Amino acid sequence: MAFTSDQIWSLLGWTPSADQARQFTVLQLQLAHWNRRLNLTRLVQADDYWIAQIYDALWPLLPQPQGRQGPRRIVDVGTGGGFPGLALAISLPQARLELVDSAARKCEAVRAMAHSLGLSSRVQVHCERAELFARRVGMRGQVDLAVARAVAPAPVVAEYLVPLLTPGGEALLYRGRWDQADEDGLGRAAALLGATLVRRQQRQLPAERGLRTVLGLSPTAPCPGRYPRKVGQPARRPLA
């Protein structure tokens, strides 16, 4: 038996408004629609959608602690078919989101999905390389929360995300299995970027969908101006 959306909210300990619940259903329909044309993701139906997309996107951020103001400016780098970015946009209605991907057709689909969800006023889609986006005036050093899921090895993703952060901001890396060697590598990359590991959380996804790990990095100093390096360099020569 597949999980229902209500069971997913209960597992997350969060209750969406009626409008948010409707938006998650619209997002599933939109994803199925665009997937027929573009092959965006295989995670569209039943548990694939509600657990591997929605629950997986939201568990590191929900529920928001009572009274604490959530992140205002969020960037999702390598958003692909819109995850985790669109799920965050629905569940954090006070936030503005920038969704970044270098694949033009994916960006077109995600832009259309954001429009269908009524989110165009606070969700912008940028068809751009992460290395260039992080150098934009108005983005570098301006972001409260920068996230990435399934984009590149952790030290590469750290180089895309950390330069975007405000001094109190956080880069959240969505990973699967994680070991001490991974953590040592990410720690070395973070130190070069002027950041440090501030959280490591693990959770088994429901329905035996596997172990997930999120790693949080926060700045300890201004990120040196040489990062991120030129397009392609972070992936070709990772910092660790």
Would you list which residues are annotated within the binding site for S-adenosyl-L-methionine?
A: 78, 83, 130-131, 149
Lay out the sheet containing 195-204: strands in order across. 123-127, 96-101, 73-77, 143-149, 165-175, 211-219, 195-204
3-state secondary structure (DSSP) of residue 174: strand
212 counts as binding ligand SAM under rule CB under 6 A: no
| Pick 129 or 212: Cβ nearer ligand SAM | 129
Please spell the DSSP secondary structure of 110-142, one letter per residue: HHHHHHHTT-TTTEEEEES-HHHHTTSTTTTT-
- The closest of 178, 176, 158, 177 to 218, measured between CA atoms, is 158
Token pair recorded at residue 23: 């938006």
Q: Which residue is nearest to ligand SAM (CB)?
A: 80
- Distance of closest approach, residue 230 Cβ to ligand SAM, in angstroms: 11
Nearest residue (CB) to ligand SAM, 32 versus 221: 32
Which residue in the set 12, 21, 46, 103 belongs to the binding site for ligand SAM (CB under 6 A)?
103
Nearer to ligand SAM, 196 or 216 (CB): 216
In this chain, which of 16, 60, 71, 80 binds ligand SAM, going by CB under 6 A? 80
Binding residues for ligand SAM, rule: CB under 6 A, are 41, 78-81, 83, 100-103, 106, 129-131, 149-152
